[in-house]
Amino acid sequence: MGRSDHRLGGSQLPATPTTLADVAERAGVSRQTVSNAVNNPDLLRPDTLERVRQTIAELGYSPNRAARNLRTRTSSLIGLRFAPAQEGTANAAMDRFVHSLVEASQEVGYHVLLFPGDDEDPIGGYDNLLRSTAVDAFVVTDTYLGNPQASWLSEQRAPFVAFGRPWDDEEARHVWVDVDGAAGTRLATQHLIDRGHTRIAWIGWRKDSPIGEDRRSGWLKTMHANGLSTTGLASRVEDVVHSGAEAAAVLLDESEPTAFVCASDTLAMGVLHTLWIRQLAPGRDIAVVGFDDSQVAQVFPVGLTSVRQPLEDVAVEIVNTLSLLLTHQPIDTWGVLLEPTLAIRESS
């Protein structure tokens, strides 16, 4: 069945896409040989390979994804539940992470498929994609307390890597990549100590957040390791600007700190607000460090020093681990902890 609708040098796609058979016929080889030229070029004699490759280029052939997926029972797709950044907070880390993930996935021949989350039915989206074999694996980002996704996926024996430690679950036996929050606040606190500060306050989240407690511990340990007191210097509030501002006001009145380390850029913005009201200059009078290196930290007129998560590295690590999982290679470590850095700006 000859086909005549190819625009060889043309710019328009043929009405019906070029197939393996088209290439085979034109190159005078079998379909299998074309398939090998694409997937196992080593099997071909150099001259055959060259001829087939040229025909592929001429016809602009690209293997049909659906057919390949059906045959190989793979999709080359990684599923990611995409929850939006919360309005009113500075946490736009997701954006940077997703981009890194897309790039890293591309490197190993994968694409990222986004699906929405449903709070009513947190595993619904996962279940659908899994049953219909629409994705090969998942990246799970929301591993907060009591989140059923990771354990559910484990039960299903579905390949996935979590961004975030299984804080609450001793039993968890899945692979994860995370950023060492305590190391980040250690970096921040030591930075302030090196600048001569001794009364460094902490403004963090409520006690039921393991991530928050982890970040808090970095501050606490670094203070103590340097023989500094932390009495009356810590506050736990909700992650909103207003709460950060209030906490800063109280701390300033009661404990006279000269610097603040915050669990988030959102809280740091609150501190800056209080400083502004009191006519205190950030960086000169009082130092402030945030967490996440959000756009807010970068755009704020008085650049906000902030702990920056190495999201690019996280993505690469996740994709590499996923590759191992999907090729059934042995995983040497269940968890990888990456070190954040400190983006130093005027506020310290």
Partner DNA sequence: ATGAAAGCGCTAACAT
Partner DNA sequence: ATGTTAGCGCTTTCAT
Helix or strand run (H / E) with residue 76: none
Which range of residues in 25-33, 156-164, 251-259, 267-275 is near DNA by CB under 7 A? Answer: 25-33
Q: Which residue has the tokens 């810590």?
A: 234
**Interaction partner, residue 20 (a copy of itself, DNA, none; CB < 5-8 Å by kind):** DNA
Instruction: Specify the residue, 30 or 62, whose C-beta has the smaller distance to a copy of itself.
Output: 62
Report which DSSP code applies to 284. T
Q: Is residue 315 within 8 Å of 103, Cβ to Cβ?
A: yes
Tell me the closest approach of the beta carbon of residue 8 to a copy of itself, in angstroms.
14
Q: Which pairs with CB-CB distance under 8 Å and at least 24 residues apart come from 19-26? A: 19/61, 19/64, 20/61, 20/63, 22/59, 22/61, 23/52, 23/55, 23/56, 23/59, 23/61, 26/55, 26/58, 26/59
Query: With CB under 8 A, what is the number of residues at the site for a copy of itself?
Result: 68
Burial of 206: CB neighbours in 10 Å, binned 0-12, 13-18, 19+: exposed
C-alpha 336/C-alpha 165 separation (Å) is 9
Residues numbered 310-339 forming contacts with a copy of itself, rule: CB under 8 A: none
Which range of residues in 125-133, 192-200, 227-235, 251-259 is near a copy of itself by CB under 8 A? Answer: 125-133
Instruction: Specify the residue, 63 or 303, whose C-beta has the smaller distance to DNA.
Output: 63
Burial of 208: CB neighbours in 10 Å, binned 0-12, 13-18, 19+: exposed
32 binds DNA (CB under 7 A): yes
61 binds a copy of itself (CB under 8 A): yes
231 binds a copy of itself (CB under 8 A): no
Q: Which residue has the tokens 């059934």?
A: 328
| Chain positions contacting DNA, by CB under 7 A | 16-17, 19-21, 28-33, 35-36, 38-39, 43-45, 47-49, 61, 63-64, 67-68, 70-73
| Chain positions contacting a copy of itself, by CB under 8 A | 11-13, 17-18, 60-67, 69-70, 73, 75, 77, 82-85, 87-90, 92, 94-96, 98-99, 102-103, 106, 111-116, 128, 130-134, 155-158, 241, 245, 265-266, 269-270, 272-273, 276, 294-296, 298-302
